[in-house]
Structure 1
Amino acid sequence: MREIEALWEEARELSLGTSGGVERLDSPPTPLQFLRDFVSPNKPCVISNATLHWPALSSWSHDSYLTRALSSAHVSLHLTPNGRADAAVPINSDDPSTLCFASAHALRMPFPEALNLIVNPHSTNFVAYAQQQNDCFRSEYSALAQDCDAHIPWATDALGCLPEAVNLWVGNHLSETSFHKDHYENLYAVVSGEKHFLLLPPTDVHRMYIRNYPAARYSYSQDTGKFTLESEKPMRCVPWCSVDPYPSPEAKHSAMSRFPLYFNGPKPFECTIKAGEILYLPSMWFHHVRQSPDAAGRTIAINYWYDMQFDIKYAYFNFLQSVPYQSTHNPTLPGTMSDDLDSDSDCDSFAYGCKDKLGADESVTNLPNASAKEE
């Protein structure tokens, strides 16, 4: 079905652009402009000079201010061995081809201790990332509420609602978010450091090689200083993007062979979001995130999740995702069998094959079409 590959090109030629860049605005748009030019066509943009009035842009550059304001706050901190949480990772190093969906080891601690672990990654054998989500800015970090807007006024007017959740993200150069999509209109504001996004539109869903992976969670032992992967019980399977856009040099050839639709297709849209800028990330766009810290060693961002409209675009996406597709780049490779997302038997078969390695029980649950809330 070459028509699917033609769709990728046509979407870029008609609407998104072919340069691989993201449109930039020098100042915040009016609600009408935002709705007409970006939300309605499901098109991302970067807005400069969008948050210059926030006290956070100056005050959060000082650790002393943050630790004083949050001196009594206990926050959630997420630990991984390599900075990659909520990602498809090998179950063990001896078999890199067998993957699971790994979530971070989560713990609660005073914010000053959490910040110290984030900005000093080389003094530990783990990567710490404050990525709680679930409206954490208005709960765990409420002491900072006066430092930035409770919502983005022009977005609120355009979308006709207040954000469902506002989240704070504090990480370092090792923190990474794997490709995924969200069912939200996402306004992503960087306060300190830089965020580097790779973006693919919903039309490119087959290029993500979404597969069902058994869910597991990292468990960190302070006694041994080591991580283990433990299966969730009852076992469930999570549909997740398989593509790592930055494979290691030794893994690059294998990755390009396994995922030709991604590596041989149109380049992802790329953008870097700096302090004072906002990225509008449209609903259902796939995105991968890396970051560069500020001089103090951390990257801080706030994002506002507004409910998307589950309209005809959502119906079109679900139909497209359901279409099995065989790569024309290498027809001997398995296609992107999106119907696997609705198949309990495939998930069960894979999960049981991983059961002994993960120490799982006999119960398996499949979550079709799950979409985790991420950056």
Structure 2
Amino acid sequence: MRYVARNRPFIIRNGAWDWKARKRWNARYLAEVMQGQNVNVAITPHGNADSVAELESSGMVFVKPYEREEPFAAVLSHIQRQELDPSYQGPTRYAQTQNDNLRTEYTTLFSDVPHSIPFARVALQKEPDAINFWLGNKKSTTALHKDNYENIYVQILGKKHFALLPPVESACVNEKAVLAGTYRLRDEGVEGEEVQKEGLVIAVDEPDEYVPFATWDPDRPVENTTRFSECSLPLRVTLEEGDMLYLPALWYHKVSQSCSEEGICCAVNYWYDLDFSGGFWAMANFVRGVGLLSLKEDANKGGVEKTQRSKG
């Protein structure tokens, strides 16, 4: 509770070691419990869902994955084959719907996890707004972003690797309004057929929409920088199987993963809505606003310098 009050992340090592999910879940069990069920799956060429990509015609685009329903058994098989079979050439699949899916489309697995986290229920004084199931392999990564939720992230199989930045470092991440796009099939006539990596293309959403998103990557620190990026001190942590991470709301995080011997990485997370009534939300937005203002000033200064050089 003291760490929650300080708005600081922490890991409870083996915090979920006695969960039924930790004792039961493996590829065979998941396939048996989910037998005959279809699930929503995100499909991308490179595991780059909800991230920034470069298009020659449009510049930076915030690209969302192509989504469709597939049998869970097929999703699991594709995820494992891509991890374990060097000859696999298909796209990357990630079960990541983030819509309280463990209490809806994965409800047959819900009895294997607690309905809430005891310390979070006391410290945050509320029940979870969403409980999500995640299944993928090392090809799937999550770009640096933040959420308006208090997050309890629990690793069941494999490992998760986090780079964490506090809200005060918002001036470091080079947030920009990025044109939104979505991966779509090049040939819409193959909707029911097997998706090929080369068959996925980025299409700009219509009507045009712009998404505020961090364009600086702590793993590529000299690209897309602001004058403050070099001051960032990312906190890097790894969740082992059974570990539990408390990630405060509005903390930036980039996530990658390592698989179990079966070629899968599986996790569960609990989202608790942010308390917008306190001073933290206002302060975080003030700091973000200062960062955005500095970006605007730098852009204006660059334009003035360029004009002066052209006149010279």
TM-score range, shorter chain: 0.7 to 0.9
- Seen in structure 2, the aligned counterparts of structure 1 residues 157 and 90 have a Cα distance that, compared at 3 Å, is same
Hey, what does 2:213 align to over in structure 1? 240
Hey, what does 1:125 align to over in structure 2? 90
Following the alignment from structure 1 to structure 2, what is the Cα–Cα distance between the partners of residues 206 and 223? 39
Partner of 2:76, secondary structure, is helix
- Seen in structure 2, the aligned counterparts of structure 1 residues 299 and 319 have a Cα distance that, compared at 3 Å, is same
Greater RCO (CA < 8 Å, at least 6 residues apart): 2
- TM-score, normalised to structure 2's length? 0.86
2:145 to 180, 183, 186: 180
Partner of 2:282, secondary structure, is helix
Hey, what does 2:65 align to over in structure 1? 104
Hey, what does 2:102 align to over in structure 1? 137
Indicate yes or no: 2:227 matched with 1:227.
no
Partner of 2:222, secondary structure, is helix
Shift in Å at residue 229 of structure 1?
0.7
1:270-291 deviation per Cα after TM superposition (whole angstroms, max 9, x unaligned): 1001111100000100000000
Following the alignment from structure 1 to structure 2, what is the Cα–Cα distance between the partners of residues 188 and 268? 18
Shift in Å at residue 72 of structure 1?
2.2
The residue identity in structure 2 corresponding to 1:231 is V
Q: Return 5+ residue gaps in structure 2 as ranges.
A: 187-193, 300-312
- TM-score, normalised to structure 1's length? 0.72
Indicate yes or no: 2:273 matched with 1:300.
no
- Seen in structure 2, the aligned counterparts of structure 1 residues 230 and 51 have a Cα distance that, compared at 3 Å, is same
Hey, what does 2:48 align to over in structure 1? 84
Shift in Å at residue 262 of structure 1?
6.1
Hey, what does 1:258 align to over in structure 2? 224
Indicate yes or no: 2:162 matched with 1:197.
yes
Indicate yes or no: 2:303 matched with 1:336.
no
Following the alignment from structure 1 to structure 2, what is the Cα–Cα distance between the partners of residues 51 and 109? 30
- Seen in structure 2, the aligned counterparts of structure 1 residues 325 and 85 have a Cα distance that, compared at 3 Å, is closer
The residue identity in structure 2 corresponding to 1:79 is I
Shift in Å at residue 336 of structure 1?
2.4
The residue identity in structure 2 corresponding to 1:284 is L
2:19 to 32, 54, 61: 54
Hey, what does 2:189 align to over in structure 1? none
How much identity, in percent, do the aligned residues show?
32
Following the alignment from structure 1 to structure 2, what is the Cα–Cα distance between the partners of residues 264 and 320? 17
Q: How many positions carry a matched residue from both structures?
A: 286
Partner of 1:137, secondary structure, is helix
Shift in Å at residue 88 of structure 1?
0.9
The residue identity in structure 1 corresponding to 2:69 is R
Partner of 1:151, secondary structure, is coil
1:240-292 deviation per Cα after TM superposition (whole angstroms, max 9, x unaligned): 00012334xxxxxxx61531556521320010011111000001000000000
The residue identity in structure 2 corresponding to 1:313 is F
The residue identity in structure 2 corresponding to 1:275 is E
Indicate yes or no: 2:281 matched with 1:314.
yes
Hey, what does 1:114 align to over in structure 2? 75
Shift in Å at residue 125 of structure 1?
2.8
Q: Which moved more, 1:218-227 or 1:153-162?
A: 218-227
The CA RMSD measured in Å over matched residues stands at 2.1
Q: Which moved more, 1:135-144 or 1:154-163?
A: 154-163
- Seen in structure 2, the aligned counterparts of structure 1 residues 324 and 265 have a Cα distance that, compared at 3 Å, is closer
Following the alignment from structure 1 to structure 2, what is the Cα–Cα distance between the partners of residues 241 and 258? 10
The residue identity in structure 2 corresponding to 1:336 is L
Following the alignment from structure 1 to structure 2, what is the Cα–Cα distance between the partners of residues 263 and 208? 7
